[in-house]
């Protein structure tokens, strides 16, 4: 309990009150309540719906849920963790936040996990993304709830009609040629759908991987922004040109969700996005292209490095939590193999939270239900956040840079590129102002 600014008399009053409050406890043992903050994504909704299963197995713990949209949640959790507010016992955060928050000492290190949890079964790049890898704070700080990479989805039927065969590893220039062939205004099919909505986790996720693959990088080894380099110019010109010719109109308002709706209603020939969309696209209840869906690795250009991203939503315990043991019991349950099996049996194997455990990908029931499983596993294991670019960089992260300044830098650059996509300015203008604003932010942060 932090009560630094409370006067002595108030403290007496509080201790009296707490004695009074605790008195009935001696007679009966009541359950410990832990507050879990999570994102409103389908996999987390399933986790919430299994509350009773957890409480049945652990009658001494009850769960209280705070479910919020990603951006609102991020702001809410950052405020609480930075001020040590202590409002949450379990926080759902991503591979971007975990290393930064852990270095600030805001998260509890998970070094005494039970043996049957099988830490080694967690997929290595995902586990590394949730750890601090060097220094005195070295260790694991969050457990992965689901992991994802990016891949190319395409319409098998349209490819067949156009006589195109998908190679094992497509390239961006091939994607451009195919988009030209598939694009058909009469049938309402756009050759390619990609994110255009500005934001570090929206358009910059896909653009980050494109720039990597075109040989570019965010910063050189001296932390100098590289947005005015030829590689950035080539990648962004390619993207704006292709989306302008063969993309859907108003692409600057399309994020993951909008593209998912477009692709699943049959309006896109190809789409490069998160592997976690596969389960939804394969579900005939949600998608009209479930039986025509093809998939391939994310396209590459000059290099394979950093061509597909790595992201994981994970459960962490803030230092300010007052119920750390109960919180750890919950997060080990929700990220265990036992939980994956429970969801598989109750919700169907295609609905399990993917991308966290090696054993999931060895499970025959999952392999049968999800033909994309192998691809996803390959994409996740081959994504290397510690070596994401052709030239060396001082940062970790494929589609992001794990420094606190990146949220604002990424979103600003994303807005400028969206303006170029909308035709409000040229790509060169967008990149030069992006370079200037990034230089300014980095200078102000003391780099």
Partner 1 sequence: MSTSTSNSVAAASAAVSASRARRSVINKKLVLTLVAWTIALVMFFPIFWMILTSFKTEAEAIATPPSLFFTPSVEGYIEIQARADYFKYALNSVVISLGATLLALLIAIPSAYSMAFLPTKRTQGTLLWMLSTKMLPSVGVLLPVYLIFRDLGLLDSRTGLIIIYMLMNLPIVVWMLYTFFKDIPKDILEAGRMDGASTLQEIFHLLLPLTLPGIASTGLLCVILSWNEAFWSLNLTTSNAAPLTAYIASFSSPEGLFWAKLSAASTLAIAPILIFGWMTQKQMVRGLTFGAVK
**Closest CB 47 distance from partner 1, rounded Å:** 11
The reply on whether position 18 binds partner 1 by CB under 8 A is no
Question: Burial, 321: exposed, middle or buried (Cβ in 10 Å; 0-12, 13-18, 19+)?
Answer: buried
Write out the two tokens for 377.
């596993």
Partnered with residue 106 across adjacent β-strands are none
**Closest CB 290 distance from partner 1, rounded Å:** 13
Do the bridges between strand 190-193 and strand 143-148 make them parallel or antiparallel, or are there none, so unpaired?
Answer: unpaired
The reply on whether position 255 binds partner 1 by CB under 8 A is yes
The reply on whether position 265 binds partner 1 by CB under 8 A is yes
Kindly tell me which residue out of 32, 55, 157, 286 binds partner 1, with binding defined by CB under 8 A: 286
**Closest CB 119 distance from partner 1, rounded Å:** 28
**Closest CB 262 distance from partner 1, rounded Å:** 10
* 3-class secondary-structure state, position 190: strand
The reply on whether position 146 binds partner 1 by CB under 8 A is no
User: How many Å apart are CA 259 and CA 280, to the nearest integer?
Assistant: 12
Q: Residue 269: which of 162, 422, 376, 167 has the closest Cα?
A: 162
Helix (H) or strand (E) holding 65: strand 61-68
Kindly tell me which residue out of 40, 133, 173, 386 binds partner 1, with binding defined by CB under 8 A: 40
* 3-class secondary-structure state, position 282: coil
**Closest CB 79 distance from partner 1, rounded Å:** 6
The reply on whether position 253 binds partner 1 by CB under 8 A is no
Q: Which stretch binds partner 1 (CB under 8 A): 70-78, 122-130, 358-366, 436-444?
A: 70-78
Write out the two tokens for 46.
């399933």
Residue 247: CB atoms within 10 A of its CB come to: 23
Write out the two tokens for 178.
């195919």
The reply on whether position 68 binds partner 1 by CB under 8 A is yes
**Closest CB 22 distance from partner 1, rounded Å:** 16
The reply on whether position 72 binds partner 1 by CB under 8 A is yes
User: How many Å apart are CA 263 and CA 359, to the nearest integer?
Assistant: 31
The reply on whether position 35 binds partner 1 by CB under 8 A is yes
Return residues touching partner 1 (CB under 8 A): 2-6, 35, 37, 39-42, 45, 48-49, 64-72, 75-76, 79-80, 83-88, 255-257, 260-261, 265, 276, 280, 285-286
């Amino acid at each position: 309990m932090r009560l630094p600014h409370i006067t002595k008399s108030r403290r007496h009053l509080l201790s009296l009150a707490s004695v009074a409050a605790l008195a009935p406890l001696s007679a009966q043992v009541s359950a410990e309540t832990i507050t879990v903050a999570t994102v409103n994504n389908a996999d987390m909704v399933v986790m919430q719906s299994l509350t009773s299963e957890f409480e049945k197995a652990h009658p001494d713990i009850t769960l209280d849920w705070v479910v919020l949209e990603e951006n609102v949640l991020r702001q809410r959790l950052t405020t609480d963790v930075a001020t040590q507010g202590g409002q949450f016992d379990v926080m759902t955060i991503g591979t971007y936040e975990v290393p930064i928050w852990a270095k600030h000492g805001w998260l509890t290190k998970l070094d005494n996990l039970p043996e049957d949890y099988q830490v080694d079964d967690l997929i290595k790049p995902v586990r590394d993304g949730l750890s601090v890898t060097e220094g005195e704070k070295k260790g694991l700080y969050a457990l992965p709830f689901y992991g994802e990479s990016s891949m190319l989805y395409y319409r098998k039927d349209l490819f067949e009609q156009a006589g195109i065969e998908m190679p094992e590893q497509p390239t961006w220039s091939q994607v451009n040629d195919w988009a030209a062939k598939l694009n058909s205004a009469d049938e309402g099919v756009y050759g390619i759908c990609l994110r255009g909505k500005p934001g570090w986790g929206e358009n910059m996720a896909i653009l980050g991987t494109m720039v990597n693959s075109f040989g570019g990088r965010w910063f050189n080894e001296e932390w100098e922004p590289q947005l005015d380099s030829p590689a950035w110019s080539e990648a962004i010109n390619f993207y704006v040109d292709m989306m302008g010719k063969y993309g859907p109109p108003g692409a600057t308002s399309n994020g993951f969700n909008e593209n998912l709706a477009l692709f699943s209603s049959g309006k896109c020939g190809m789409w490069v996005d998160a592997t976690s969309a596969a389960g939804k696209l394969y579900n005939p209840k949600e998608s009209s292209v479930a039986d025509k869906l093809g998939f391939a690795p994310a396209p590459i250009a000059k290099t394979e490095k950093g061509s597909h991203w790595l992201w994981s939503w994970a459960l962490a315990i803030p230092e300010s939590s007052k119920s750390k043991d109960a919180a750890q019991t919950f997060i080990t349950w929700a990220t265990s193999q036992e939980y994956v099996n429970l969801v598989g049996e109750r919700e169907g194997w295609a609905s399990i939270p993917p991308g966290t455990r090696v054993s999931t990908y060895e499970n025959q029931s999952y392999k049968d239900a999800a033909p994309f499983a192998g691809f996803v596993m390959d994409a996740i294991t081959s994504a290397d956040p510690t070596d994401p670019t052709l030239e060396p960089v001082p940062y970790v992260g494929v589609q992001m840079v794990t420094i606190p300044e990146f949220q604002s830098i990424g979103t600003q650059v994303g807005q400028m590129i969206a303006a170029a996509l909308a035709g409000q300015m040229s790509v060169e203008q967008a990149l030069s102002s992006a370079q200037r604003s990034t230089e300014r932010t980095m200078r102000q942060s003391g780099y």
